[in-house]
Structure 1
Amino acid sequence: MSFSVPSSARRPRLLIVGCGDIGLRVLKLLNTRWHVAALTSTAARRDELRQAGAIPLIGNLDAPATLARLAGWADAVLHLAPPQADGPQDLRTAMLLQALARKRAPRRIVYASTTGVYGDCKGARFDETRAVAPATDRARRRIDAEARLRWFGQAFGCAVTILRVPGIYAGDRAGGHPRERLLAGRPVLRREDDVYTNHIHADDLARACVLALHRGPSPRVLHAVDDSEMLMGDYFDLAADLCGLPRPPRIGRAEAQQQMTPMQLSFLGESRRLDNRRLKRELRLKLRYPHVREGITA
């Protein structure tokens, strides 16, 4: 998978904001016809980004004065940076868009949001037309970012595609494989208390990002999720069996309240199953790992 443009044309410029694990996977999919820069607030990452094929740009979304170089540079932006840690608004996206608006705006922005914007859906299965119902400021910040991006797209004639992303996993992703939780012996809910979760392999998400930059509809929201629909406990049971590890202990919700952190409990309070037909139809993405069964053992 790669972008292509006529050889006579100037190489289009892509800015990756938040070039962590997914951004680095995206870089591996791009060919040399793209001129890529990656915004980083960490000077120590310069060599890593150069080796991956990107020009490092030092800047901090929490410090607007450091973002002046972004103005007018990019033809397309892949926005993978998370919001700041508190408050109902995404001030980082606000700062990014202010910087991009100072000169010629990019023609396209792809933003990685979260499926958490829907809140608890009681296990319902639904598509992108469902209204958002955030239960946490973490989700409200993402909704704020989506709204700012839509406004920017309308105001500056910029195509905006939003990918709502669930739990990301991969064997080579730090903190992104179920074996780590299994080895820690952390419990899961018993079946009668359990919740549905959604997943996407990191490589499939990177491929979705590239396709969205190439042909993403605008203004449009897409569920960047795989085909698996599993209760969380069943997911970890499957992972344990595939990894040759003991299945996690099952506990009730009352015990979970005593043993788990507020952050862990927040994920146990939301249950939903997301339809991904729009992702496959409009981006024409063929999932490499359509079910976690394939992805866990990859």
Structure 2
Amino acid sequence: MTQNVFIFGAGYSGKAIAAARPAGTAVSGTTRSPEKLESLRRAGIAPHLFDGTHLTSETAEALADTTHLVVSAAPGEGGDPVLAAAQETIGSAMPRLEWIGYLSTVGVYGDYQGAWVDETTECRPVSGRSRARVAAEAAWLALGAETGLPVAVLRLSGIYGPGRNAFVNLEQGTAKRLIKAGQVFNRIHVADIAGALWHLAGRGAGGAFNVTDDDPAPPQDVVAHAARLMGVAPPPEIPFETAQLSPMARSFYGENKRVSNAKLKAEGYQLRFSDYRAALGAMWADGSWRGAGDADARSPMRSD
């Protein structure tokens, strides 16, 4: 029978997941904005509007035939919007459902002052948005236990890929080389988010998985490497203490950790891009770094 995948929050990562679907798989997905419905259609996703509170009759009908549910919608002050709107439906009106994937963040670990963390490490989130993620993860895993469905929590590091990378930032003049002693970040190319998700879904895997690269590295190194590939001068170094940053950007630098992907690899997944050098080199060589011009690809991200 046909696999039917439903993605709540079919933005940048959701579209990459749809693009990497196995042959014969149908994909539906939601957006909050009517203006984005056409972009979902162009991505091969049957579009649905979701206002964050109620399911439409069309969405409920699609969910009734869904085999794999992917949640890429951030929790808000009131908790997880998908659980609030669809928990009863998931529990009683999705007879074909086999697997749930929840896209979370490595921000749930908080600050470990540069030490290594893995899925057994205590979550001690710093920001309100990360605390909400911890609660949402627990709620989805509890739903899985209640329904007997495998729920995989994919903890993503800094997302980049076509249209959303250091090359784009350099071209637009927004790239910065912020220097904070000892600071490192992990990253993940969006193709590996899609690849890991489909791999875990295919194995019916449940539990938490860090979906991250092999190389936690200083953010200024990524900008400098991209500049070398482009043949342009890198932006000047800026001490973190004097940098003009948004509160959200500054909060990223308040957390410092090295995130292990050993569990994901033990599950059998092989990264397409093991580090930023491999990914930037490939995108520069094939020209895919500019992306397709989709607004979702130009959404804000860290300065690297």
Number of equivalences: 279
How far the C-alpha of 1:269 sits from its partner, in A, is 1.0
Q: Distance in 1 between matches of 2:175 and 2:19?
A: 34
Give 1:279-290 correspondences, 5 Å limit.
Answer: 279-282=264-267, 284-290=268-274
* Counterpart pick for 2:210 among 223, 227, 235: 223
In 2, Cα distance between equivalents of 1:61 and 1:146: 18
Q: CA deviation at 1:81?
A: 1.9
Please name the residue that 2:80 is paired with: 90
Please say if 1:189 is aligned against 2:178: yes
- What is the rounded CA distance, in whole Å, between the counterparts of 1:260 and 1:57 in structure 2? 35
Q: How big is the alpha-carbon RMSD for the aligned residues of Structure 1 and Structure 2?
A: 2.3
Contact 2:53 2:84 in 1 (8 A): no
Distance, in Å, in 1 between the alignment partners of 2:261 and 2:49 is 36
* Higher mean C-alpha displacement, 152-161 vs 239-248: 239-248
Structure 2 alignment gaps of length 5 or more = 284-304
State whether residues 240 and 246 of structure 1, in contact with CA within 8 Å, keep that contact through their aligned partners in structure 2.
yes
* CA pair 11-186 structure 1, distance change in 2 beyond 3 A: closer
SS of structure 2 residue aligned to 1:97: helix
In the TM superposition, what is the alpha-carbon distance from 1:270 to its structure 2 partner?
0.9
Q: Contact 2:6–2:63 at 8 Å: present in 1 too?
A: no
Match of 1:146?
137
Encode CA deviations 1:109-133: one digit per residue, 9 max, x unaligned.
0111001111111001122110111
Q: Which amino acid aligns with 1:269?
A: G
Alignment map for 1:40-189 (pairs within 5 Å): 40-64=31-55, 68-69=60-61, 71-84=63-76, 87=77, 89-104=79-94, 106-170=97-161, 172-173=162-163, 176-182=164-170, 183-184=172-173, 186-189=175-178
Matched, 1:233 2:217: no
Q: Deviations over 1:69-98 (max 9, x none)?
A: 4553322101112233xx373344432334
Q: Give 1:161 shift.
A: 0.4
Q: Deviations over 1:217-270 (max 9, x none)?
A: 22x1111011122112222222222222322322334313xx222111101111
Q: Distance in 1 between matches of 2:2 and 2:125?
A: 40
Equivalents in 2 of 1:56, 1:115: separation in Å? 29
C-alpha separation in 1, matches of 2:205 and 2:60: 29
2:143 aligns to what SS in structure 1?
Answer: helix
Decide whether aligned partners of structure 1 residues 43 and 189 sit closer, same or farther in structure 2, where only a CA change above 3 A counts: closer
Please state how far the C-alpha of 1:52 moved relative to its aligned partner: 3.3
Match of 1:263 in 2: 248
> For residue 192 of structure 2, what is the aligned residue in structure 1?
204
Once the two structures are overlaid, the 10-residue window that deviates more, 152-161 or 74-83, is 74-83
Q: Is residue 291 from structure 1 mapped to residue 291 from structure 2 by the alignment?
A: no
Runs (5+) with no aligned partner, structure 1: 1-9
Task: Call closer, same or farther: CA 1:189–1:12 in 2, change over 3 Å.
Answer: closer
1-structure distance, mates of 2:276, 2:14: 21
Q: Helix, strand or coil: the match of 2:266?
A: helix
Indicate if the aligned counterparts of 2:27 and 2:46 stay in contact, CA closer than 8 A.
yes
Displacement of 1:51 in angstroms is 4.1
Aligned mate of 1:23, from 5, 11, 14:
14
Aligned-partner SS, 2:64: coil
The Cα of 1:212 is off from its aligned counterpart by 1.7
For 1:260 and 1:134, the matched residues in 2 are separated by 21
Separation of aligned partners in 2, 1:246 and 1:267: 26
Counterpart Cα distance in 2 of 1:13 and 1:127: 32
Q: Could you tell me which residue of structure 2 aligns to residue 6 of structure 1? A: none
* Structure 1 partner of 2:289: none
Q: Say which is worse superposed, 144-153 or 46-55, in terms of deviation.
A: 46-55
Cα distance, 1:70–1:149 mapped onto 2, change above 3 Å: farther
- Which amino acid counterpart does residue 256 of structure 2 have in structure 1? S
